[in-house]
Amino acid sequence: MSRIFDRDNSDMSFAYETVIKVLDQWHEAHRQQFVRDGYTNLLNTFDTQEEKHGHIGGKYMRLDVGGSGAWMLEMATGDVYQIKGYGKIDKKKCAGNIYAPDFDGAVLFRDRFRHGRFDNRKVVL
C-alpha cells in the first residue's frame, strides 16, 4: 500500500505510476523480510504501520516509511538518495535511478541502513 501526497495539487512532470511501482516494490521486499523474521502474527497491521509514501516538495520527493524519513527522490533526474537526517540529502549514497529499466524498488529496503558510500546508478558508456 503506497500513497503520494502532493502539497499543492500541482502538475508534476514525472510519472506517478513509476514512483508508486517503486514504493510498492519496496513495501513488498519489506513484507517478505518481515515474514522471514517470523513476525507473521503482526501481518494484519503491517500495511498501516509500515506504509511507504511520498511527499512532493519543490525539487525533491520524500520517500518515507511509516513516520520515518528514508530516501529523497530528485524529481528532475529520478535519482534516489539516502538522507542524513532532518531531510538533508546524502549525495554520496545513491540507490539508483527510478527511470532505469532494471531498477527494482527492493533496493530501497536492502540499502536503507547501508553504511559507507555507494552509487547503484548504471554507468552509460
Give per-residue pLDDT as tens, 38-97: 988 888 888 888 899 999 888 999 999 988 889 999 999 999 999 987 778 999 999 999
Closest CA to 71 of 9, 118, 33: 118
* 3-state DSSP percent of the chain in helix, strand and coil, to 5: 30, 35, 40
The whole-number pLDDT of residue 52 equals: 92
pLDDT of 18 over the 80 cut: yes
Q: What is the pLDDT of residue 14?
A: 57
Q: Supply 25's cell numbers.
A: 516494490
Distance CA 61, CA 75 (A): 7
pLDDT at 4: 75
Measured in degrees and rounded to the nearest 5, phi and psi for residue 93 equal -130, 95
Residue 33 corresponds to which cell in the numbers above? 523480510
Average pLDDT, the chain: 85
Helix (H, G, I), strand (E, B) or coil at 84: strand
**Separation of alpha carbons 104 and 26, rounded Å:** 8
C-alpha angle 93/28/21, rounded to 5°? 70
Cα–Cα distance measured from residue 116 to residue 57, given in angstroms and rounded to the nearest whole number: 27
CB 113 within 8 A of CB 30: no
Decide: pTM greater than 0.85.
no
